[in-house]
């Protein structure tokens, strides 16, 4: 895999981290397209590990994800560059937008714009989930994915089970019920 240059890496984290709307999932999906598919700086497995670790660590998912990806790309220096590049400018923007929101709070046009942003954010979250699932949708694996996904939704929405417990159960079920993709990966040399 090609090595990421520090300046180019910082620019990518600055651009994607601060210009992608919709929260952590769309940001992480944009990083997947840029770092895994376009530049091939990360393998799909490295991306999946960074995504999973970001989901189970306390705090903000994007911070943990950027730290993990930065570390994969350039070690500690990469992590120390990635996190502030992806977060500081947007943090400053949030402060400015919060002040503006206080001023625009009662305007009907502003409420409509916020509703439109919310709808777009939901669409980007669905696209991010699709980007994670799509590489795993191979023949013989679809039923497994559908059962595990529906089971997770049922536990989360129907029984209000903790997300950490659902992740643990999903990991155990996925390890016990391997599909053709996992079997093929175990047979292939690293």
Tens of pLDDT, residue by residue over 122-179, are 898 888 888 888 888 887 888 888 899 899 999 999 999 998 899 899 889 988 887 6
Same domain flag for 103 and 189 = no
**pTM metric for this prediction:** 0.58
Same domain flag for 111 and 144 = no
Same domain flag for 78 and 31 = yes
Q: Residue 73: what pLDDT? A: 96
If one counts every other C-beta atom within 10 angstroms of the C-beta of residue 90, the result is 16
Same domain flag for 69 and 160 = no
Q: Is 41:110 a contact under the CB 8 Å cutoff?
A: no
Same domain flag for 162 and 132 = no
55: CB partners within 8 A, 6+ apart: 61, 167
- Structural domain that includes position 149: 139-190
Q: Residue 182: what pLDDT? A: 58
1 in a structural domain: no
Same domain flag for 62 and 90 = yes
Same domain flag for 113 and 27 = yes
- How many domains in the chain? 2
Same domain flag for 149 and 89 = no
């Amino acid at each position: 895999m090609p090595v990421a240059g520090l300046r180019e890496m910082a620019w990518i984290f600055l651009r994607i981290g601060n210009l992608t709307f919709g929260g952590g999932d769309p940001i992480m999906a944009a990083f997947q397209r840029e770092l895994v598919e376009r530049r091939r700086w990360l393998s799909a497995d490295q991306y999946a590990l960074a995504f999973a670790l970001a989901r189970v660590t306390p705090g903000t998912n994007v911070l943990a994800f950027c730290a993990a990806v930065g570390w994969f790309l350039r070690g500690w220096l990469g992590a120390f560059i990635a996190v502030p590049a992806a977060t500081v400018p947007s943090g400053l923007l949030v402060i400015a937008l919060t002040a503006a929101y206080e001023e625009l709070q009662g305007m009907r046009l502003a409420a409509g714009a916020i509703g439109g942003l919310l709808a777009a954010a939901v669409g980007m979250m669905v696209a991010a989930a699709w980007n994670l699932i799509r590489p795993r949708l191979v023949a013989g694996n679809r039923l497994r994915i559908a059962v595990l996904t529906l089971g997770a939704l049922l536990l989360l929405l129907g029984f209000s089970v903790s997300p950490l417990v659902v992740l643990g159960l999903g990991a155990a079920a996925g390890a016990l019920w391997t599909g053709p993709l996992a079997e093929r990966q175990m047979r292939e040399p690293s």
